[in-house]
Structures are given as structure tokens and as C-alpha cells.
Amino acid sequence: MLQFGSDSKIATLPSGIRIAYRIFPGKSKVPLFCVHGLTGNLKNFEPLAQGLSKKGITVIVYDLRGRGNSDKPKEEYSARVHAQDLKELSSILGYSKISILSHSLGAWITLRFAEKFSSFLEKAVLIDGGGELSIKRKISNLLMIQGSLARLGRRIPSKEIYLQEAKKSPLLSAWNTNIQNFLLYELEPIGTLSASLMPGDTFYGPAICSIPPFVIDSELKNMGGAMRPSGIVARLFKDPKKFIKTIQENKVMPYSTLRCPVLVIRALKPNFKPGDELLPSTAIEKMKEKIQNLKVYELTDKNHYECVLLEDKERDQEIFKFLRS
């Protein structure tokens, strides 16, 4: 069932997976593909896409498999799987070269894309993600995102209650229509009314967040994590060799494969407490050491979620200048 507020198109990849996407046309020959985070969707980037499109840049936003209106197969989910999906989607749409703007998990996907398809990558914008982190820091980050995972699989009495709860989140210092659209898009009605009785952009009765918990658990598993901290311990004892191998694979990021200009946007505002930012200074220093053509832009007044959900003209201008340079 298509989610609330859907206006996306569907592309069927060679793998058979159907991916939902939307194109914001521009005059640029190389398009910008926007890759959202762990529990995001294509609505995350629509305001930015609209602005860049007006300035002549072709922007494509899409739902990762497992989210929004894209297929949600009960298979493995990982950054490498998403990177392959992105390559196939860009080819289907007729592009042989692309730029990527990504947030959080999307930054990992960008790195895996560069690892396998570096010649296809023109420029990369990594927003608050893709850093090399210690195990202690990874666990700290996992604890930080627990609040955003609580909505998965939950039956919500109505979309109004869903929005009311979101407005109370300590992770958001402001509220706007873009955030509302992003949240409503991930809702799927499960009421008894027929779709034909739900006029326009309104649905009634209970709903559920359309991201299956198994999708997120698989994503985190392939990064050495789990939906809950106890799951990390369970995986360690269940298969120590496999767990250690996963940790080692994600310990060092493939920065050397980024042979294109890279812009890293870092959110410095604490999420819950000072020092819990997703990209600590140590991670930025490693990026500076290993990525040749790197520029870092810092958002001092926004946290990990606000850096994409809240408006910021200076951030958008920085992205535009980078893409046009």
C-alpha cells in the first residue's frame, strides 16, 4: 500500500526490487542522488531538492529498500546492498555519472558506492555520517538513536497522535511542515475503512510506521550493532568469529576510494548531552588524513536529526557552491 502523501514513481531494478523515487528537474548533466538515513525516507530531502532544482541542479530523492514505498523483502540489508541498488537505479534512469548527497547511514552507503563504483562518482556530500568510530563510541551512538527506533512496529491510534508525540521529542527544537510530511509519509493506515473512503490526503483510524523492525535490525547487524544493546552481546556469544569479522570490516572506512571532491557537513549541537555528536573530532581528523579533496562545514546550532530536517539557508548555499564548483 502506498504511504500517506505519496507522489513518487517506481523503478524496477534488475534484481527485481522496486524502488520509489522522485525527480526534481534541472539543467545539470550530472544529477544529485540523495540517500537518507537509517529510518528516513525520500521526504527528508525534498525541501533541499526543490531549492537546488530551482538553481539548475537535477536532484533525485528515493526510498531505500525497506522504507517508504520501496520494496521491503525479508532479505539482508547492508550499505553494500544499498550501494548496488543506487548504481542500478542511476543506470535505469540513464545516468553514467552521478553526485551523491547522503545523511547518517546514507554516508556509509556513499562510501560503499565509491568502493565499488568510484568512476561513476562526480562529487559526494556526507552529512553527519561515515566516520571511523571506536566500539565504545558506536555503542554510545546506538544508545542515542534508541528513541527514534521506538516507533517501529508500533500500532498508533491515529496520525494526529503520531504527530503530537513527535512534536514532544527532545531531538527537535523546532517544527515545520517538512517534518510533518516526512513523518506522515512513513505511516501506513491499518484501519477498517476502504481506501476509497479515505478522501484526498486524509486517512482515518489506526496506523503503523511502515519500516519493518527486521529491516533496521539487519542494517545494524551488518554494522556490528543491533536494535538493542543486549542484541550486540547476544550476537557476540552466538557467533564470535562472525561478529568480530563484522566489527573489523567496519572499523576502517574506504576513504581512499573517494577520488572525487568531498564535502562533509558536521552537526555540532548535542543530541542529548555534550559530546554525543555522531561525528566526533577524532573521526573528522581521520577523514582529513585519508580523503584528499575534502572540505568540512560545521553546523553549530543543529544536531544529528535537525541538520537535515530543519531549514538552513547557509547550509544549502554551501552545498550549492560545492556542487557548482
Q: Is residue 120 part of a domain?
A: yes
pLDDT of residue 110: 98
CATH number of the structural domain spanning residue 238 = 3.40.50.1820
Give the range of the structural domain holding residue 98, as residue numbers without chain letter. Answer: 9-324
**Residue 109: all three cell numbers together:** 552507503
pLDDT in tens, 192-243: 555 555 555 555 678 899 999 999 999 998 888 777 767 777 776 787 788 7
Domain count, the chain: 1
Q: Is residue 193 part of a domain?
A: yes
Name the more confident of 299 and 139.
Answer: 299
Q: Is residue 146 part of a domain?
A: yes
Q: Is residue 202 part of a domain?
A: yes
Taking the model in full, what pTM does it have?
Answer: 0.91
Q: Is residue 2 part of a domain?
A: no
- Which residues in 277-313 are b (16+ Cβ under 10 Å) and which e? bbbbeebbebbeeebeebeeeebeebbbbbbbbbebe
The neighbour count for residue 201, using CB atoms within 10 Å, is 10
pLDDT in tens, 11-47: 999 999 999 999 999 999 999 999 999 999 999 999 9
Contact 155, 20 (CB under 8 A): no
Q: Is residue 273 part of a domain?
A: yes
Q: Is residue 62 part of a domain?
A: yes
Q: How far apart are CA 52 and CA 32, in angstroms?
A: 9
Q: Is residue 21 part of a domain?
A: yes
